Copies of this chain bind each other. A is one copy, B any other.
Amino acid sequence: MQGKYRALWLNDDNFLEVIDQTKLPFEYETKVLKTTDEVVEAIKDMTVRGAGVIGSVAAFGIYTASMEVDGGYEKLKEKASHIRESRPTAVNLMWAVDKMMELLKDSTDLVGDSKAYAIKLNDEEALESQKIARFGCDIIEDILKQKNKTKINILTHCNAGWLAVIDEGTALAPIYEAQKRGIDVHVWVDETRPRNQGASLTAWELTQSGINHTIIADNTGGHLMQNGMVDMVITGADRISANGDVANKIGTYLKALAAEDNGVPFYVAIPASTFDFDIRDGVKEIPIELRSEDEVKYMRGVDSDGVVREVLVTPKDSPAINYGFDVTPARLITGLITNKGVCEADFDKIREKFNNH
């Protein structure tokens, strides 16, 4: 199943192999994850990241775990909860683990079945991504028609491309689709401090596909929107509450505020698995991951000799704090672009559309 556009696959030895995203855009390296511990570590240290990819890795992680536990469902459950807790904000992670464990409940061949289910889940996700691409691109075409323009400027935050969600991403999926439809598309790529997923991963992805883009500091989006230089914003999400509040990479909320202040449509592209129907008030209830201050204090890059180095960018003794996500209230969101079509970020509308999810 390895394609040009996949962040993970089963290798020839039937082990899970992933692109090491911490090395991009400077080095392309892959890692084989042979144990549950390696899977958990890869999620924690962000070797793999992105809502969908974490879910996919977790599904294959259950398969990896099944090879370690020698057949017992109860033992597999322990390993599964280990995987499930590797990152707190990602609802797809929990969803994928729970789904896998539910499917495997009565299995008599945990290894064979978990492998088959993980592949199936992954393929379903790829299909969802393609649907998001098409629904999202229809919106792009509508905006161009409304504005009587031929070129669209889209701002995105963090990385929600194929490195994040199998297999064209969520936020970037409509952009890839626009390219296919021959639309002139330009992407404003938020750097996305502190981990720079925009400047490294999104910019790298768009370069691979030859899509016109410009990297900007996270501070810049407001100015661009104020000056009519952004036609729409599309981001992904890590978790959406039943009322449509969106937990996504820290800083998303600020862009949503700027979009509202300047009448710029703000869309969130997600597979239905991103909803957390147990949470009714996302702003108050979605737990926000607190990560190491070192991600703020240190920065990775290549020096003039091509050597990848990590440098300290703050005074050594100044403390930093590193919230991984923020929550954008539903009122700031123009619409949710999902595999089931576009939906308002509204409790009743969401329930109506995703009732049987």
A residues in contact (CB < 8 Å) with B:
25, 189, 191-194, 196, 199-200, 203-204, 206-207, 213-224, 226, 249-251, 253-255, 257-258, 261, 283, 288, 296-304, 309-315, 317-323, 325-327
- Which B residues are CB-close (under 8 A) to A250? 217, 219-220, 223
- Which B residues are CB-close (under 8 A) to A326? 219-220, 222-223, 226
CA distance A224 to B254 in the complex (A): 11
Of the candidates B249, B253, B320, which one forms a contact with A258 in the assembled complex, judged by CB atoms under 8 Å apart?
B253
- Which B residues are CB-close (under 8 A) to A194? 217
- Which B residues are CB-close (under 8 A) to A191? 193, 296, 314
User: Which secondary structure dominates where chain A touches chain B?
Assistant: mixed
Please, could you name 27 A-B residue pairs with CB atoms under 8 Å apart, sorted by A?
Answer: A25-B314, A193-B217, A194-B217, A200-B315, A203-B315, A206-B318, A207-B315, A214-B320, A215-B314, A217-B251, A217-B322, A218-B218, A218-B251, A219-B250, A220-B323, A221-B254, A222-B254, A222-B257, A223-B326, A226-B326, A254-B254, A254-B257, A299-B301, A300-B311, A300-B313, A303-B312, A309-B309
A182: shortest Cβ distance to chain B, in Å? 22
- Which B residues are CB-close (under 8 A) to A318? 189, 199, 203-204, 206-207, 213-215
- Which B residues are CB-close (under 8 A) to A261? 257
- Which B residues are CB-close (under 8 A) to A224? 323
Of the candidates B221, B288, B313, which one forms a contact with A223 in the assembled complex, judged by CB atoms under 8 Å apart?
B288
A27: shortest Cβ distance to chain B, in Å? 12
Question: Of all chain B residues, which has the CB nearest A317?
Answer: B207
Of the candidates B203, B218, B251, which one forms a contact with A314 in the assembled complex, judged by CB atoms under 8 Å apart?
B203
CA distance A192 to B25 in the complex (A): 23
